[in-house]
Structure 1
Amino acid sequence: MTDLSSATLANHLPDKRQVAVSFSRAATTYDGVAELQRAVGHELIARLPPHLTPGRWLDLGCGTGYFSRVLGQHFAQSQGLALDIAQGMLSYARPLGGAQHFIAGDAESLPLQNNSCDLIFSSLALQWCADFNAVLSEAHRVLKPGGVLAFASLCVGTLGELRDSWRAVDGQVHVNRFRELETYQQVCAHSDLQVLGLQIQPHVLHYPQVRQLTHELKALGAHNLNPGRPEGLTSRARIQRLVGAYEQYRQPLGLPATYQVIYGILEKTR
């Protein structure tokens, strides 16, 4: 599969306004089903440079503020900023603290001053941004020299079992699309940030039945938001065909759902 240009990818990703609405609606249910999100975020924290002592950090795509609170404890002497495109998430996170300021904003156009942060931390948010070049350019602008961008995002192959099972049912788009690993590698290599680390690591969750997976995706706000997705309710017959197709993947632990997670650590050297 060839790389998608930013313009082409923009046509394949959900409208960010729909993303904001979907995650706002999921604010009160998100943490209850966010096993993967917590595992990935803690792994990203473990990958931070050990010498890093930021005066100011930014939790980019903060969601419910879970990792804003973790970062607030980890860097107790630092000032924290939490930013998200979903107002519902910010309303949920703000009373729980962790950061000093909660800001509505977009990773592709940060409402922050130049050279204002020592760390930008972003866990499982940047996959919703169509223009990853703009994300890295904005990170470079906002970071101070020596500052670090640490991100975790999703690659092609994520939820492959669900995608392929739906393909056995019909030809419509049922699973969110994500960038290829090669696209992340190329964009990072050609950015103004120095790549300290860029690795892909699969995370596999298991479910007793398909409905537990689809319920979790909806509770996370990460259900199918793609252009071209089917409209209206899915018939019982099609659901039964989906269940039958997914059963071929069953393992002793249950039905697997694989997430291809890329971890990136980049530094602003100039």
Structure 2
Amino acid sequence: MTEATTGILPEKRQVAMSFSRAAASYDGVAGLQRSVSDQLLARLPLDLSADHWLDLGCGTGYCSRALSTRFPGSSGLALDIAEGMLRHAREQGAAQAFVAGDAESLPLRGESCDLIFSNLALQWCADFSAVLSEARRVLRANGVFAFSSLCVGTLQELRDSWQAVDGLVHVNRFRRFADYQQLCSASSLELVELRCEPQVLHFPDVRQLTHELKALGAHNLNPGRPGGLTGRARLQAFLAAYEAQRQPQGLPATYQVVYGVLRKKSGIAG
């Protein structure tokens, strides 16, 4: 996938509505999201001092609370495109300020943040180069942009099982890791770390996996997804294909997690 992703990734309004609806159920099934957030937090440079930080795509506020603990006395801003998530985060007192906004066009003044932290949100952005450009603009000199995202290969077991049945889009599409590499290298930000690490979850059955995706707001949102009900014969064929991949721990669901840490060098204009 290149950055010409219009019509491939979900439309922003759909993403915002889906995650707003999932705000109440999100924390109950967000174990992977919390684990990835903790790993991303551990990747922050030890010398980083963040008086002003931005939790970009804050969701229900888990990362904001962690950042407040990591940087006591700091000023934090939680931003999300889904207003339902922001309401939930505000109720938790996760940050000092809460703003509805878009990662590709941040409603913030230039050079206003020491840290931009984004956990499993940027996979929904069609123009990742715009995200990087906005990060560069908003960061102060020596500021850090730390993000986690998902790339091609995520939910591959689910995708392969549907491919055995039909050619329709049943699983969300994701950017290639090579695209993250190319775009980060071209961003004028110093690349501290960029790697992809698979995390495999296991489920007792497909119903629990699809329930979790819906509760997260991350069920299939892509253009080309099938409309209406799936016929019984196709559904049974899909279930049989997925069952063939069962492991001793259960049915696998692999997430290809991208971790990126970039720094704005001194002397780089926004």
Same fold (TM over 0.5): yes
Alpha-carbon distance in structure 2 between the residues aligned to 1:163 and 1:45:
30
Is 1:13 paired with 2:13? no
Alpha-carbon distance in structure 2 between the residues aligned to 1:72 and 1:10:
36
Is 1:112 paired with 2:108? yes
Q: Which residue of 1 aligns with 2:127?
A: 131
Q: Which residue of 2 aligns with 1:223?
A: 219
How far 1:239 moved relative to its partner?
A: 2.0
Runs of 4+ in structure 1 off by over 4 angstroms are: none
Q: How does 1:241-256 map to 2 (within 5 A)?
A: 241-256=237-252
Q: Which residue of 2 aligns with 1:89?
A: 85
Matching residue within 151, 160, 164 for 1:164: 160
Is 1:238 paired with 2:230? no
8 Å CA contact retained: 1:34, 1:220 = yes
Q: How does 1:203-218 map to 2 (within 5 A)?
A: 203-218=199-214
Matching residue within 178, 181, 188 for 2:177: 181
Alpha-carbon distance in structure 1 between the residues aligned to 2:167 and 2:129:
31
8 Å CA contact retained: 1:54, 1:119 = yes
8 Å CA contact retained: 1:30, 1:221 = yes
Matching residue within 126, 143, 148 for 1:147: 143
TM-score (norm. length: structure 2): 0.97
* RMSD (Å) for aligned C-alpha atoms: 0.8
For 1:75-108, what per-residue CA distance to the aligned partner results, in whole angstroms no more than 9, with x for missing partners? 1111000000001101111011121001000000
For 1:219-241, what per-residue CA distance to the aligned partner results, in whole angstroms no more than 9, with x for missing partners? 00000000010011223332221
Alpha-carbon distance in structure 2 between the residues aligned to 1:155 and 1:82:
24
For 2:169, give the aligned amino acid.
V
Alpha-carbon distance in structure 2 between the residues aligned to 1:232 and 1:239:
13
Which secondary structure state, in structure 2, belongs to the residue aligned with residue 29 of structure 1? Answer: helix
Alpha-carbon distance in structure 2 between the residues aligned to 1:28 and 1:97:
16
Q: Which residue of 1 aligns with 2:30?
A: 34
Alpha-carbon distance in structure 1 between the residues aligned to 2:52 and 2:82:
22
8 Å CA contact retained: 1:72, 1:78 = yes
8 Å CA contact retained: 1:73, 1:98 = no
Which secondary structure state, in structure 2, belongs to the residue aligned with residue 226 of structure 1? Answer: coil
Which secondary structure state, in structure 1, belongs to the residue aligned with residue 142 of structure 2? Answer: strand
For 1:6-47, what per-residue CA distance to the aligned partner results, in whole angstroms no more than 9, with x for missing partners? 22x122100010000000000000000001101111000010
Aligned residues: 266
Matching residue within 64, 69, 74 for 2:70: 74
TM-score (norm. length: structure 1): 0.97
Name structure 2 gaps, 5 residues minimum. Answer: none
